[in-house]
Chain A
Amino acid sequence: MYYKELKISPPFMNASGILSFVSVFEYLEKLGVNVGAWVTKSIGQKERNGNENPVIHQDGDILMNSVGLSSPNLDDFEKELKEYKGKTPLIISHYGEKPDDYARSVARFDKYCIAHEINLSCPNFIPGEKSVLEKVNPQEILKAVREKTNKPIIAKLSPAQDYLEITERILDYVDYICCGNTIRGLDIEPISGFSYLSGRFGGISGEVLRPITMKMVYEIYKEFGDKIGIIACGGISKPEHIISYARAGASLFQIGTALAKPSVEIVNFFNTLGDGIETLLKKIGVNSIEDIVGVNYVD
């Protein structure tokens, strides 16, 4: 296989922007959580507040957020990385406005992590801003980043992007595609006519994303599965979802919205997820998740 394998066990972690800070990861570890890695919040170049509240909107099964890439600056971020005492390895998520931005933070934080996630698809920026791929060719970003690290590089794309075309363009520089991100949406408060979110638009997350993201995993695996690995991220809340995503083509898994839980419950959630996966694999009659990656009869 071409790609630099990201060897983590168990094969699941949090999604970027969820739990966010190394101090939270450390505390969960102290409580006994077992995850393969922790993914940090996307780090940008400058200190940035993101959108004002409300940044979360929930109605029935719909959950949307417009946090809008809030971030401390690189110096403040590094201070916390230096203080991280956890044993679980870190994956650092990066965002920027141009290739240099990504390259700079990848180079600077390379020693703190086992892999880099390149966020090319955050759907909730501040009103008036453009998304990064409206400004820059993704190939230039990944090329710049590849020059700075030998560690696995994950490109985080969204089901709302032309992901097959983008993947093809960045194929030579990337080891994993993270499928996917939240999908941009809008919900309007009926009486006042204002958006429920101060950032106007927000990323839809949770269960509703799963079939959309699973199709993305399936298609990317079919086209490029022999050249890159796939991380599934969208609506995972139980072991069955992980097995289904594995069959679609993913070998690693990220959990986001399902972590809206007190710390003790997060620990319990992750620690029973592994057992649940084992049970299902036994039922299928295989030993490990790797045995079923991409094994499906959809066609």
Chain B
Amino acid sequence: MMTLRPADEAELSALLRGRTGPLRVIGGATRVLWFGGAADLLDCTALSGITLYEPGALTLVAGAGTPLAEVERVLAAEGQRLPFEVPDLRGLLGTAGVSTLGGVVAANASGPRRLQAGACRDSLIGLRFVDGTGMAVKTGGRVMKNVTGYDLVKLLAGSHGTLGVLTEVSFKLLPVPGASATLVLRGLDDASAVQAMAAALGSPFEVTGAAHWPGEGTFLRIEGFADSVAYRSGRLARLLAPFGSADMLDGDDTARQWQAIRDVAPFHDRPGDVWKLSVKPSDAPGLVARLAADAVLYDWGGGLVWVRTAPGADLRARLGPFEGHATLIRADAPVTAVFQPQPAPLAALAAALRRKFDPRGILNPGLMG
């Protein structure tokens, strides 16, 4: 097994043009399970560096191999950030690599703020990629509003390298608010917690995080200017009084708490497989009841459920048909497909798209179906 590390887009393009064997495309290899068998590694970390950062336009353009930490550091110096709160899954997966921007995009990795600020793909305003034939393509750009041509930006985000290899990505950014606070409701069962989160998210107080950690509490985050945070958290506490009286976490504790939720800290160093469910929030407690899970963590107001189970259990079989999808995030053995198989007509479209962009089937073959 070889590791190929193209220095730039032209080299990558030449490499893919002449390639026949399967490739596993990686940035830092920190996020996604690989049961695809032997394949040479295509390491994208040399495509690195911030090429444009305009704080006044809330815009960043960088090579796909740029380390996430480097980008976060540069943005923080200007009081800005990526809006979608990128999870760091290394603690959960026991990986040690350096997460890259391209990896974040390929996985459409989005954290707790996804429910208010949108997913990674919603902040992504442009990208460049090289498809499986070696063709270099630009889509989108560096401006926030752009409907020129089809939105391949969205198609490539979350495609896990199966349509092409990302070389450059552009994001719109948000200012980091001056203050934040978290309300904590204690002792709610799962169903009441989801109801409390729905009440909070249906209020005008702009909740930017809504998670339920059974045994720990139900957490609701407010961000903004200091006076506004105080006002809204007060109003929200009154609104949620029927669910009990709320404790309040200050800014520092808020940051720690949401990092733990974002990175699924309760499952670190605990045995078992880990799954991620995307569901209609109000369905979540009922679905969880079917799972015989060792532990769960609800995020996105219940729309995202992290599940820890005994190794080797096929969670999809236990769930039966449901609205949403389940992804296998951590496992020692390929229990089943990493991604939820899609209904036949959608699977056929996806397969046809993969054949168009990667006719020789060399890019992460089999990963998405």
Q: Do A and B bind each other?
A: no
Q: B interface vs A, CB < 8 Å?
A: none
